[in-house]
Chain A
Amino acid sequence: MQHVSPIREPLVTGGKTYHDITEDVCRQVEAKPNVRWAAALAVALVGLAIFIYSVYRTLWYGIGEWGLNKTVGWAWDITNFVWWVGIGHAGTLISAILLLFRQKWRTSINRAAEAMTIFAVICAAMFPVLHMGRPWLAYWVLPLPNTFGSLWVNFNSPLLWDVFAISTYFSVSLVFWYIGLIPDFATIRDRATGPIARRAYAVLSFGWTGSAKAWSRYETVSLILAGLATPLVLSVHTIVSMDFATSVIPGWHTTIFPPYFVAGAIFSGFAMVLTLMIITRKVFFLEHYITLEHVESMNKVIILTGSIVGVAYTTEFFIAWYSGVEYEQYAFINRAFGPYWWAYWSMMTCNVITPQLFWFRKIRRSLTATFIISIFVNIGMWFERFVIIVTSLHRDYLPSSWAMFSPTMIDIGVYVGTIGLFFTLFLLFTKFFPVVNMAEVKSILKSSSEVNAHHGKAATMHATDKDLNSNTHRNE
């Protein structure tokens, strides 16, 4: 039993009972598709179509369909890759690290955040394959025994580390997410009326019985997976950053990259979670589960990581000056004042300035403001990767090779297309899977839910002795 401070805001509002939770969460799974959901899916499918077309052009004609050139060998492809991987950080962070730190507020958002992680990593993983000149040989980056004369991969290459990091992260996240889903699938299975739904959810729930033993194992596995996933949250973006940090290109060759990338990833991940949650809670009427309290907590994480990122940007400049390396100095001056100044200043505005508004409690608790700022952060973090990749490459060592990069329609199509893919997956998820972890929310209901108004007490206060929903020990 734990102690909950009487002045702490409740995590579940509206005086929900266990049954209410089940009803609220299962509603959209069991009911007919919501019109707004269907409209959103239609838009997402258009995005998916754009993705398929752009990928077809890329695969059929070659990478030349993109705007890359002899000087800028990566641009939107790897920008998108890092951006999506970054977004894919929040889910596991929320479920793993917050689980270890016993942050109960995570329970209502971890499911959707983990789903987002998985879909974002799927989008991200497209790019390392798509950006290859010969993607049909992508399996050569795996250390598979082969008949090509004992050819082996190059373990020195950070790209290879990426392969391991991303695939490990993806599998652990997927397992973690799925394990969490099992009890909820069982709930839906038990409630299902149609034969197809019953059979499907029966299969998905792996025959969950809900016995005490099962629950005990469930919690142990969750804890173990959280332990496994926690270092991964830090390692994935660390390794992604090494693609750049281990190179010799000024603007890439920077030792600050690993922590800076991890902070940036959490920053962008939380922003994306907010963007999605604010919409989802509205569309599926989950305001009582995903409360302003949650939004505010995430906004606090955003201020923290946004400030870390801001400090990192400044540090890069300082080190460039302090190192005395002319190439490094030029790379950073060129970022801020060169031909791509607009990308740099977009990044600075979106990532460093806008999140600072969250110091104001009012803004932090305003859904509209949060939504807008979360979009800003998403844009800013995309620009951050663009700035790092393109502005470093386009003017590196020999001025003779300096060049500009401009994207083609196919570049844009692939990027917009992955957003379409992401939302298609996410919308399908929200329709067919429980978006809130019912089982875990129920576990905090007694300790941290709001008293129903008709019980007589002010809604803002926490449970009193009279309240059946509370089992908190308290001496009054």
Chain B
Amino acid sequence: MQDRIKYWKGIEELENAPEFEKHAHNEFPEFLPVNELEGGESSNGKTRRRDFLKLLGFSMAAVSLASCEAPVRKAIPYLNKPVDVEPGVANWYASTFYLNGDYNSILVKTREGRPIKIEPNPSSGLTPLGTSPKAQGSLMGLYDNNRLRFPLIAGKEAKWEDVDKQIKSRLANVSGKVAFVSSTIISPSTKRLIDEFGSRFGNFEHVTYDANSASALLQANGGVIPGYDFSKANIIVGINADFLGTWVAPVPFAKQYIQTRKVDADNPSMSRHYQFETMLSLTGSNADVRVPIKPSEEAAFVTALHNAVTGQGASSGSAADAKVMAAVVKDLQANRGKALVVCGSNDPGIQAMVKAINTALGAEGTTIDTAAPYFVKQGNDAAMIRLIEEMNAGSVGAVFFFNANPAYNHPLAARVVSGLKKVGLKVSFADRVEETAKFADFVTPDHHYLESWNDFEPKRGYISLSQPVISPIFTTRQMQDSLLVWSDQQTNFYEYMRNNWRSVASGDFNKFWEKAVHDGVLENGTSMLQVSTSTATASTSVRKIQPAGVEAVLYEKVSIGTGEMINNPWLQELPDPVSKATWGNYVAVPRLMAEEMQVVQGDVLKVTFANNESIELPALIQPGQANGTVAIAMGYGRDLEAMPVANGLGANAYPIATVADNAVLYTSGVKLEKTNATSPIAQTQTHHTIMDRIVVQENTLAKYKENPKEVTKYIRLATHEGPAKPATISLWDDYEYKNHHWGMVIDLNSCIGCGSCTMSCNVENNIPVVGKAEVLNRREMHWMRIDRYYSAKEHEEKDYAEMEHPADNPSVIFQPMLCQHCNHAPCETVCPVAATMHSSEGINQMVYNRCVGTRYCANNCPYKVRRFNWFAYANNDKFGFNETMNNDLGKMVLNPDVTVRTRGVMEKCSFCVQRVQLGKLEAKRENRRPQDGDIVTACAQSCPTEAIVFGDMKNPESRISKILARQQGERAFHVLEELNTQPNVTYLTKIRNLA
């Protein structure tokens, strides 16, 4: 065998010169000859000047280089890679979000074991399309640093073993009633478990109450919510029911509602929606005809409608204009079997009358699916009120609170607090110490829903599941598991639930179960939920509300709801769809009243409730608010250590709700006084009218039927050859798109303005929350916003001062606004460093790394969709509430595919370029072209009404191409077409079905 080939360092090694041998062991033989004597030079032993300079230079360079090194951050790789977890590849798990009626069957996108996005579950029959903004935002609740990390005994940190031991021993000796208080539970297994848990006690009651109750509706309909199907209705009458925003089950309702609202030239028909309401709700904003009525007029109105429709009783006077009333009655009668009346009142008499109206209209079996009622609200006001009295009487031995916070959100909150002191054992499952848990002996924090197994039945025959997508972050325990432990069962809730499901399984259970968990839904008609239907039937007798002073109504804000997720910075910063206000509640005052009181927006009003308590809130002039009334959102006014985000925001308006005849009414008379203080309201939009500009277009159905080609106004430029389309006159060369050309169509008819797209975009694209002060500075960062315009009051042409004022009962139009990805983008030409440029697929790209932050692009954007990072929003204590970027737990929610932008750079909608790239790569891997629907932007994906369609305009088979081909010259328009920016986002004119 030959020796290894030897390579010499040089001729010296070959020769093996002594000089070489001397230095052979040195890796760098030629040292800087500092302090070395060589030859005859510098025999004095001193360093030579040149060497000194060399050394000096080297050490300077070395020191400065060493200081440049970035700190090392250790990342620990998987030692044993979990199955199915590929770093960089997302997994989706089916689950369910349910909170106070807001039901969404969802897919949870996880990356490396972290849930990072909520997406709709297309397998669901109820909510296949989009999600509510709350569902999107609920993700942040998982990473909320203020959740309890351990159980508490008397407010002190405790161990689960101690908690269990103590609770078990105290339950064994409990005397008096054991009550389990919860908000509506739609989980069949949980309900069964609670009943089983209670069966051990002699006197047990599961009391369900809702912070925003539908008790009267349930009472009038035998304990369930009628199976409304808005998609079958030609005429929809809503009475104080915000069914697209907050009432009962808004996401399924929105999906149904919009089915009859989409029009094209082949099918130019749509439902007509009348809305009678006190405050301008999201639903009212979408109505074709909207009439403001006072709460005290509601009863008379429903009676009049009832009498007119059924032909019984005298036709009584009603608050609504006689002409509108006649039109409603005429439309309803002409559409028997195709009409639906819904009412949000919590007065059993009114609800009974509404039921009678629907019966008379033949709605049952047509627009109301009697076989499939909704279960999303089951609260029983009377039972809760009774329990509160029992607690005060001292006859309650133990009480459990699950998703229930009556010390805050019940009209008798003070009685709840006093009653709690007389209860021997108080256990709360709250995830943090809130108003009720403060009084609890034990706080045994429940898991977040993304850490839990559960099942749901929001509507009879529609079952869904939730599954843990992350192992519990804190030492919390699911409520159901706690109950199992305390009732000495050896099983856990997962097994319990599986067992419960065996009754509905067919075939091999494991296969059935796996499929159910995989799909997340089971919709073969089986029903598992038991609801109590033993409610007393309500009579149609109507209680007269005596108008007392200013009538106030309490309402749910679309993003905040009843206040459970109040500590969520995303939801706080999501503007109210109608008022566009963020961060806090306010008194919505109609213009006339404000003028009478000499109040301007932002003036603080003192609101004194019927119980003589008072709060102070700023006034917001709300067009559409019925005169003589005000509206205040619930959920605010928290002062808890565990809710730092919400602390100091707004005031608690729950005292508006009053108890009368064992029912909770969400309206009462209040006294308003002007104070000298002012408090600004952080709105994302402060100019409310369209100023007679054609940036958003609408027309009537009648005109559309007449000639669909005349409903949209197209701008034409005057040339010597006659009027020309702006795009045909251009200084610029057009781009040539060889492969893809991404585009978006937004149907203004379908957009209900709910804000899901905004929320979804925020989550997907790591958009920072900037806080109230910065929203007031007009610096919110939302890439996707919904512009809301009120119609102006009557004015002369060009009377600009007049047209700034919205009408008192305006018609409302929503326009989702995002980067228009202009083909001739004004931003692209002005950037001095070419940080924003056009992609070869039509996307206007923003290169954060290159941006120096001159903001010229934002100034030159006619759509004002560019957002600048005024401060560092990440790792900055000043923005601590921006939890997604300022604490290690919150940061887990960030989408790893999207950069967190640094201070001083511009950002904007990217058309979810990360999704586009992923879709293309997946297709490439499978050696095919991306198919239509493979790539969906976050906004389009989350829209519950499919108002947004994204796709490749190069592909003639794509949905977007087909829509554009069909709507060209009819409803398709570009905003500000005359600027020749040639956007890739196209809007479809809104059509109203005016009476």
B-binding residues in A (CB < 8 A): 61-64, 67-71, 73-74, 128, 131-135, 137-138, 140-141, 148, 151-154, 156-160, 163, 243, 246-249, 326-327, 329-330, 333-334, 337, 393, 395-403
B850 within 8 A of A: yes
- A151 adjacent to B834 (CB under 8 Å): yes
Q: Indicate if the CB atoms of A133 and B833 lie closer than 8 Å.
A: no
Neighbouring A residues of B831 by C-beta, 8 Å: 154, 157, 159
* A134 cross-chain contacts in B, Cβ below 8 A: 851-853, 902-905
Q: Which residues of B contact A401 (CB under 8 A)?
A: 685, 864
Closest 5 CB pairs of A and B: A133-B853, A133-B904, A64-B870, A69-B778, A400-B787
Shortest Cβ distance from B823 into chain A, in angstroms? 14
For residue B733, give the distance in angstroms from its CB to the closest CB of chain A: 13
The answer to whether residues A156 and B829 also contact, given A71-B778, A247-B859, A400-B817 and a CB cut-off of 8 A, is yes
Could you write out 30 A-B pairs with CB less than 8 Å apart?
A62-B872, A67-B777, A69-B777, A70-B778, A70-B780, A70-B858, A70-B864, A70-B866, A73-B868, A74-B856, A132-B853, A132-B904, A133-B869, A134-B903, A134-B904, A134-B905, A148-B850, A153-B832, A159-B832, A247-B826, A248-B981, A326-B693, A397-B864, A397-B976, A397-B979, A398-B695, A398-B817, A402-B686, A402-B687, A403-B686
**Which chain B positions have C-beta within 8 A of A326?**
692-693
How would residues 578 to 592 of chain B score, 1 for a CB under 8 Å from any chain A CB and 0 otherwise? Answer: 000000000000000
In the docked arrangement, what's the CA distance between A135 and B860, Å? 21
A399 to B780, CA, bound (A): 17
What's the nearest-Cβ distance from chain A to residue B807, in Å? 15
With known contacts A152-B834, A393-B859, A398-B864, A403–B826 Cβ distance under 8 A: no
Q: Is the CB of A68 within 8 A of B855?
A: yes
Given contacts A63-B870, A70-B864, A141-B832, contact A131 B687 (CB under 8 A): no
Of A73, A395, A403, which is in contact with the most chain B CB atoms at under 10 Å from its CB? Answer: A73
B809 CB-CB contact with A under 8 Å: no
B829-867 contacts to A (CB < 8 Å): 829-834, 850-856, 858-860, 862-864, 866-867
Closest to A74 in B: B859
Least CB separation from B803: chain A residue? A399
Cβ of B58 within 8 Å of any chain A Cβ, yes or no, is no
Interface centre among B695, B778, B831, B832 (most CB of A within 10 A): B832
Q: Does B450 contact A (CB under 8 A)?
A: no
Known A-B contacts: A133-B903, A400-B787. Give 10 more (CB < 8 A).
A64-B870, A68-B868, A70-B779, A140-B852, A141-B833, A157-B832, A248-B826, A397-B979, A399-B690, A403-B778
- Of the residues B833, B905, B979, contact of A154 by C-beta under 8 Å: B833
Q: Which residues of B contact A160 (CB under 8 A)?
A: 832
Q: Complex: how many Å from CA A143 to CA B96?
A: 55
Q: Say yes or no: A399-B691 contact (C-beta < 8 A), given A133-B852, A137-B852.
A: yes
Q: Does B906 make an interface contact (CB < 8 A)?
A: yes
* Nearest opposing residue in chain B for A154, CB measure: B834
Q: Is the CB of A399 within 8 A of B852?
A: no
Q: Mark B610-633, 1 if CB is under 8 A from A, else 0.
A: 000000000000000000000000
Does B789 touch A at the CB level, under 8 Å?
yes
Q: Closest A-chain residue to B850, C-beta based?
A: A151
Q: Which of B687, B798, B854 has the most CB of A within 10 A?
A: B854
Chain B residues with CB below 8 A from A63, complex form: 853, 868, 870, 904
| Chain B residue contacts of A393, Cβ below 8 A | 859
CB contact list, B864-914 vs A, under 8 A: 864, 866-872, 902-906
Is B800 on the interface with A (CB-CB < 8 A)? Answer: yes
Interface residues of B in 662-711 (CB under 8 A from A): 685-693, 695
Q: Decide: A133 and B832 in contact? CB cutoff 8 A.
A: no
Q: How far does the Cβ of B802 sit from chain A's closest Cβ, in whole Å?
A: 12
Decide: A330 near B695, CB < 8 A? Known: A157-B829, A398-B863: no
Task: Kindly list chain A residues whose C-beta atoms are within 8 Å of the C-beta of B785.
Answer: 400
Measured CB to CB, the closest approach of chain A to B784, in angstroms, equals 13
Do A62 and B870 have beta carbons less than 8 Å apart? Answer: yes
> Which of A73, A329, A337 is B855 in contact with, Cβ under 8 Å?
A73
CA of A157 to CA of B837, assembled, Å: 12
A401 to B871, CA, bound (A): 21
CB distance from A143 to the nearest CB of B (A): 10
Q: Does B314 contact A (CB under 8 A)?
A: no
Query: CA separation between A131 and B868, bound complex, in Å?
Result: 12
Chain A residues contacting B686 (CB-CB under 8 Å) are 402-403
A131 & B854 in contact (Cβ 8 Å cutoff): yes
B788 within 8 Å of A (CB atoms): yes
| Nearest CB of A to B523, in Å | 40
B801 on the interface (CB 8 Å rule)?
A: yes
Contacts of B855 on A, CB cut-off 8 Å? 68, 73-74, 131, 133
Name the CB-closest residue of A to B834: A154
Complexed CA–CA distance, A140 and B854 (Å):
12
B778-801 to A contact mask, C-beta < 8 Å, 1/0: 111000010111000000001011
A68-B855, A134-B853 known; A396-B832 Cβ under 8 A: no
Tell me the complex Cα distance, A133–B689, Å: 33
In the assembled complex, which residues on chain A have CB atoms less than 8 Å from the CB atom of B833?
Answer: 140-141, 151, 153-154
Closest to B859 in A: A73
CA of A71 to CA of B863, assembled, Å = 10
Complex Cα spacing A329 to B798, Å: 10
- In the complex the two chains form, is A157's CB within 8 Å of B856's CB? yes
CA distance A330 to B800 in the complex (A): 8
Measured CB to CB, the nearest residue on chain A to B787 is: A400
Q: Is the CB of B868 within 8 A of A70?
A: yes
- Candidate in A133, A140, A246 with the most chain B CB atoms within 10 angstroms: A133
Is the Cβ of A163 less than 8 Å from the Cβ of B832?
yes
CB nearest neighbor in A for B779: A69
Q: Does A400 contact B685, Cβ atoms closer than 8 Å?
A: yes
CA distance A337 to B975 in the complex (A): 27
Contacting A at CB under 8 A, from B487-542, are none
Chain A residues lying within 8 Å of B779, measured Cβ to Cβ, are 64, 69-70
Taken together as a complex, chains A and B put the C-alpha atoms of A329 and B800 apart, in Å, by 11
Q: Are B689 and A132 in contact (CB under 8 A)?
A: no
A330 neighbours in B (Cβ, 8 Å): 691, 800
Cα of A158 to Cα of B860 in the assembled complex, Å: 12
Q: Which residues of chain B come closer than 8 Å to A64, judged between CB atoms?
A: 774, 777, 779, 870-871
List the B side residues contacting A154 at CB < 8 Å. 829, 831-834
Which residue of chain A has the shortest Cβ distance to B872 in the bound complex?
A62
Which of A329, A398, A403 has the largest number of chain B CB atoms within 10 A?
A398
| A-chain residues with CB within 8 Å of residue B689 when the two chains form the complex | 399
Most A CB contacts (10 A, CB to CB) among B789, B801, B904 go to B904
**In the assembled complex, which residues on chain A have CB atoms less than 8 Å from the CB atom of B853?**
63, 132-134
A248 with B860: CB separation less than 8 A: yes
> How far is the CB of A205 from the nearest CB of chain B, in Å?
34
- Residues on the A chain within 8 Å of B902, using CB: 134
Bound together, the chains give a CA A246 to CA B829 distance in angstroms of 10
| CB nearest neighbor in B for A395 | B687
Partner of A62, one of B780, B815, B856, B904: B904
Q: Which residues from chain A contact B979 at a C-beta distance below 8 Å?
A: 248, 397
Which residue on chain A has the smallest CB distance to residue B980?
A: A248
